[in-house]
A and B are shown apart, each in its own frame.
Chain A
């Protein structure tokens, strides 16, 4: 990798409940500029904690985390979070704010002029493929799950971040929407030259969207690399995780006629 990593975790540890639960245990992981990394693991694996450490929603106990070459502890966490886009599980939209207000929140916090925010909201609605006339003034409860998540992505991108963190962004969506949204986001990632870290428990999704996959289990980083590199890993748990998409592919291939209607 030629350029220095956008995000680097070095021997990071974090425990809860006075040290009884080691959520993240000595994790080191570099994420390069422009890379799309998926962190895969089951519930309780520490993957969400790792993500939150990056924008200091949680503070690390030990180790060092750098974002764009700077130790996160050295700056103001608020400023850091405004620089990093964050997509929450099932949107995390503010229920009392319209779609436009939700999307424009970070630029507003950064005190951007109102007309600029308004123009940016329209631009983002277009980017996430929502009809601006139809959705601009809607409230979150008037949207479908997929639409809500599109707004969530738009909100994360509003302040033109170079880094986007995503916490199981497509987990609660139906398979079709999920597929479409995943592809759309991947396109945005490329188009905008983003660095993306996505949390998921779904290895298939990770393989389809990410450049590189990091596997976590019980707070430890078991393996990292491209899907091909992971296949070569000798770890039993990693092997187990990879077996599922493989088996699914084989069975789907066997069950679905190649020249089907859809």
Chain B
């Protein structure tokens, strides 16, 4: 099959109006806000060394914060602010998606605009400034008829840099709930869908290039005093904005939004939930790639209506419990805690996606290792790899304590790669996920946690407070409960990790329902 006849290109294209539209909206709004703040600040501070230094220093520091972290930081910040305004003034706002993305990106755009505007304004020959004064210009007249026009080429260079940065960084706003071209990249990376990754990168790059060239057209229009060029560039930018607004205007907002975290199983399950809702005659869309710190709050505030979480994750991460309880007890207690926040725990899907220590089956048999307890005797000579958070999670502390485990080395790894790493002998043991299809694919074995040190991670369906009494929603989702066994989920995950047309989350979700729903 040639690269371009792959049906995933077609699937990618169907998302383009939505993803591109949102991407342009968030980028253009952020850039506009950034300019609105930066330009006056640059003008005010150009003759005030202290203010100038402070501003440029601040903007430089912002720039050193990685884009992903900056975006992620704005979410809790706004959430706290929304709580305050709710309490003080009786209104809140959504700290999810658009707003934090716009604010973070606007902040990100400030450095090049500030620096270039200040440099441009300060680079003007003092004799020209004196002449402006001498012919009788007011400071404002001097600014608008002499200084800004003369500084414009340098300013435009800064604005173009900012535009390219913002468009590029906007791909990172997916985890905080802002749909963008980053949805392709995050989904593609998680489900090994390289077509999506390529498509997302190419689309973002082309958009950045297009906007840069339009701004260049405006810039040369000013420089060559060609109104035609300036107008053409301006019309281009305006057309881009209008074109991306149009589909949003005409599209009816779907009534149910299904959230998904940033890994393949979540993409499959959210697709399954959305398909079930549509089958029941409800309109539904998915909001994928949400950070695990964001998704629960988004449910509580009603930015998403439903998503699948795991009991142990909520228990330990969201509610900060370090004790480990038996499965039923934990579920019951969790249900009570969730009810206090008016979140409905509709029920369990039927499988658990727990952490498990995983190693090649052949090696485990050779060494006679069947349980984590058996592993403890060999651990001193072994290395372990896990995802970015496992070693700082309470489960790891619990396992170490319960079994007296101590490994020679610990490594952090992208989850997708650690199975291959343990299969190839790169590391000896990994902290994998019990529902991962790669365990079977690479002929690995999940060691038995005979001392119950790892909490249960039942997949559970959560409904937002505003959907608590929604009978149609409950009726559509109830058939899923208890239906998805671990073997089916593993196979579904394996399919989703494939690199072919049948591996899209939607296709895998259909397959899964065909298998378990009948």
Asked whether B135 lies within 8 Å of A106 as measured between CB atoms, the reply is: yes
**Which of these, B127, B128, B135, contacts A105 with CB under 8 Å?**
B135
List residues of chain A with CB within 8 A of the CB of B131: 88, 92-94
| B424, CB-defined interface residue at 8 Å | no
Residue A95 interfacial (CB < 8 Å):
yes
What chain B residues lie within 8 Å of A105 (beta carbons)? 135, 137
User: Within 8 Å of chain A (Cβ to Cβ): is B49?
Assistant: no
Q: Are B135 and A86 in contact (CB under 8 A)?
A: yes
Residue of A nearest to B124 (CB): A95
Q: Give the residue name and chain of the A residue nearest to B133 (CB).
A: A57
Count of chain A residues with Cβ under 8 Å from any Cβ of B?
A: 21
Main secondary structure of the interface of B (DSSP, over half): helix
Q: Which residues on the A side are within 8 Å of B145 (C-beta)?
A: 94
B interface, size bucket: 10 to 19
**How many Å lie between the Cα of A81 and that of B137 in the bound state?**
9
Q: How many angstroms from the CA of A43 to the CA of B133 in the assembled complex?
A: 23
Cβ–Cβ contact A86 & B150, under 8 A: no
Q: Closest A residue to B131 by CB, please name it.
A: A92
Looking at the assembled complex, report how far the CB atom of A203 sits from the nearest CB atom of chain B, in whole angstroms: 25
- The tally of CB-CB contacts under 8 A between chains A and B is 49
Residue of A nearest to B222 (CB): A96
Q: In the complex, which residues of chain A have a beta carbon less than 8 angstroms from the beta carbon of B133? A: 57, 81
Contacts of B134 in A (CB 8 A): 55, 57, 81, 86, 88, 92
Query: B130 contacts the other chain (Cβ, under 8 Å)?
Result: yes
| Closest Cβ–Cβ distance, residue B161 to chain A (whole Å) | 23
Q: Is the CB of B127 within 8 A of A78?
A: no
Say yes or no for B138: interface residue by CB 8 A criterion.
yes
A88: which B residues are within 8 A, CB to CB?
127, 130-131, 134
Residue A82 is within 8 A (CB to CB) of chain B in the complex: yes
Q: Quick check: A109 and B128 within 8 Å, CB to CB?
A: no
Contact with A along B245-271 (1 / 0, CB 8 A): 000000000000000000000000000
Q: Which of B134, B141, B146 has the most CB of A within 10 A?
A: B134
A110: B residues at CB distance < 8 A: 136
Task: Report the bound CA distance from A109 to B145 in whole Å.
Answer: 11
| Distance from A213 Cβ to chain B, minimum over Cβ atoms (Å) | 24
Q: Mark B143-155, 1 if CB is under 8 A from A, else 0.
A: 0011001100000
Residue A155 at the chain B interface, CB threshold 8 Å: yes
The chain B residues found within 8 Å of chain A, CB to CB, are 127-128, 130-138, 141, 145-146, 149-150
Interface residues, chain A, with chain B CB atoms under 8 Å away: 55, 57, 78-79, 81-82, 86, 88-90, 92-96, 105-106, 109-110, 155, 159
- What are 11 contact pairs spanning A and B, CB under 8 A? A55-B134, A57-B130, A78-B136, A92-B130, A92-B131, A94-B131, A95-B150, A96-B149, A109-B135, A109-B141, A110-B136
